[in-house]
């Protein structure tokens, strides 16, 4: 998609750096624009590019424009923490897209060293930081109450959706090729004493024995996300509606200087076959690097990104594979890559001939020996003659729509009048308006859309 954006290009001096993840931004009028992207940084690997316009931050987002915030507030909203990635909605010449940034490494010091924070520090917290602060404050209060008791609990109600004999989505649940896992936040409190271990046991499922073991003082009262295999995948896919029986799990917590406390935990899995929610992020672990189309006579290096953080439950390894239209693996296209803490870039090879559509996915191997595919991504190979013909067709359609725009002296002066004008043009097939944006689509193949973007107060 091509975009015609009417924006002010007045440059506001002063770069806001995000060296922790490898990029920087500047203010250009009322826009926040990427001014630098380090080649080896997290931002580059996530797909961020110089001159990308950061339109917004996915929830929670600030109430006012990002460009109007102070530098420290811009950093607070755009810089991911180790606990919370940041999803940026960006505008690029081709189309809007989402770029997700994750913070590499691990936290070495508490995010909130003082509890409670002074009022002036509270005013600077973003909504996401405030949510984490309230959680930390709650734990701090619980740990320091004289009447606090040792406990361990979870409150997740897992659901999975089944379609065509396969699990396609999970909420509070994930799956391998053999087992459906309970994904839940396990909470505990040692009533002022350091934690030693949390252990889960079950006679009906291969539950790992010890899931937490630490003497760190900050774990006196805390929580952790656990992934526990509780239900056989074959039992789940054979059921269309209803619930699978509750699986009894025994949890034991050991705190320093206290006798072990044992508590039963139960988990009932709801199985549904109605319309599933949006595709699970745990399947969306593959990203290709600007290779939607490859000209056979002009081969280039092929790379893909593995988002290990989206591979749930944690796999042992992954390999890039090609699949046919039925989702059956037809061959490996990369070497197997063992799991690692950070996202990884993997090179791969393809037989470019004959010209065709190609579908790729990641095949994960799990500790139970089973495998599962990620969501797939498609690309295609074309001959140079076919590509040149498509480019000529595209350029001709683009020229027609640009000529239409030239007939308008000021398209943003009266948006309703602009819509009426465009609807009467013989080259235009359809027109739509959303706020200050007008999109019109050409009749000539390939049905190219053009965007007129008018800023408020134009």
**Could you tell me if 153 and 194 are in contact, meaning their C-beta atoms sit under 8 angstroms apart?**
no
Which residue shows structure tokens 């954006």? Answer: 5
Confidence of residue 2 (pLDDT cuts 50, 70, 90): very low
The whole model's pTM is what? Answer: 0.56
> Which pLDDT score, from 0 to 100, does residue 226 have?
77
* pLDDT tens per residue, range 217-253: 344 456 677 788 888 999 998 887 777 877 788 888 8
In sequence order, what are the residues at sequence separation of 6 or more whose Cβ sits closer than 8 angstroms to the Cβ of residue 227? 174, 181, 182, 183, 312, 313, 314
- Answer whether 99's CB lies under 8 Å from 53's CB: no
State the architecture of 151-272 in CATH terms: Sandwich (2.60)
User: 142 in helix, strand or coil?
Assistant: helix
- Between 20-34, 51-65, 155-169, 310-324, the lowest mean confidence (pLDDT) is in 51-65
Q: What is the H or E stretch that residue 269 is in?
A: strand 261-272
- The distance in angstroms from the start CA to the end CA of the chain is 24
Asked if 2-101 and 286-382 have one fold, the answer is: no
Give me the residue label for tokens 């040149």: 388
pLDDT higher than 90, residue 301: no
Task: Give just the sign of the alpha carbon dihedral 404, 405, 409, 412.
Answer: positive
Write the CATH number of the domain with boundaries 286-382.
Answer: 2.60.40.10
Query: The domain 2-101 is classified under which CATH number: 2.20.25, 2.40.30, 1.20.1070, 2.30.42?
Result: 2.30.42
Burial per residue of 287-326, b for 16 or more beta-carbon CB atoms within 10 angstroms, e otherwise: bbeebeebbeeeeeebbbbbbbbbbbbebeebbbbbbeee
How far CA 174 is from CA of 2, 49, 170, 282, 393, in Å, comes to 38, 33, 6, 8, 45
In the chain, where the domains are located: 2-101, 151-272, 286-382, 388-454
């Amino acid at each position: 998609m091509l975009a015609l954006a009417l924006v002010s290009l007045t440059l506001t001096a002063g770069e806001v750096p995000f060296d922790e993840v490898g990029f920087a931004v500047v203010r250009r009028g009322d826009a926040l624009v990427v001014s630098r992207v380090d080649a080896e940084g997290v931002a580059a690997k996530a797909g961020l590019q110089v001159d990308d316009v950061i339109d917004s931050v996915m929830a929670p987002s600030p109430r006012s424009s990002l460009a109007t915030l102070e530098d420290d507030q811009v950093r607070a909203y755009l810089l991911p923490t180790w606990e919370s990635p940041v999803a940026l909605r960006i505008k690029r010449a081709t189309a809007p897209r989402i770029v997700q940034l994750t913070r590499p490494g691990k936290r070495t010091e508490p995010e909130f060293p003082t509890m409670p924070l002074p009022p002036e520090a509270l005013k600077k917290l973003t909504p996401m930081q405030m949510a984490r602060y309230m959680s930390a404050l709650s734990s701090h209060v619980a740990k320091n109450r004289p009447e606090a008791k040792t406990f361990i609990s979870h409150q997740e109600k897992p659901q999975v959706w089944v379609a065509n004999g396969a699990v396609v989505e999970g909420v509070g649940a994930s799956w391998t090729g053999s087992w459906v896992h309970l994904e839940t936040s396990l909470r505990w409190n040692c009533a002022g004493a350091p934690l030693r271990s949390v252990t889960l046991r079950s006679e009906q499922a291969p539950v790992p024995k010890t899931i937490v073991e630490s003497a760190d003082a900050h774990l006196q009262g805390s929580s952790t996300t656990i992934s526990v295999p509780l239900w056989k995948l074959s039992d789940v896919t054979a059921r269309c509606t209803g619930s699978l029986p509750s699986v009894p799990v025994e949890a034991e917590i050991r705190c320093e200087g206290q006798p072990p406390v044992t508590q039963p935990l139960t988990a009932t899995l709801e199985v549904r076959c109605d319309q599933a929610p949006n595709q699970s992020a745990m399947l969306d672990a593959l990203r290709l690097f600007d290779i939607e189309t490859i000209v056979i006579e002009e081969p280039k290096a092929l790379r893909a990104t593995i988002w290990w953080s989206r591979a749930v439950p944690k796999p042992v390894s992954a390999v890039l594979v090609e699949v046919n239209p039925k989702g059956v693996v037809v061959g490996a296209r990369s070497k197997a890559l063992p799991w690692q803490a950070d996202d990884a870039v993997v090179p791969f090879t393809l037989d470019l001939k004959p010209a065709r559509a190609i579908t790729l996915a990641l095949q994960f191997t799990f500790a139970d020996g089973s495998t599962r595919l990620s969501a797939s991504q498609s690309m295609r190979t074309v001959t140079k003659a076919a590509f040149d013909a498509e480019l000529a067709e595209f350029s001709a359609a683009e020229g027609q729509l640009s000529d239409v725009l030239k007939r308008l002296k000021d398209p943003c002066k009266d948006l309703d009048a602009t819509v009426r004008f465009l609807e009467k043009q013989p080259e235009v097939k359809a027109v739509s308006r959303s706020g200050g944006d007008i999109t019109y689509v050409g009749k000539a193949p390939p049905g190219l859309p053009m965007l007129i973007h008018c800023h408020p107060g134009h």
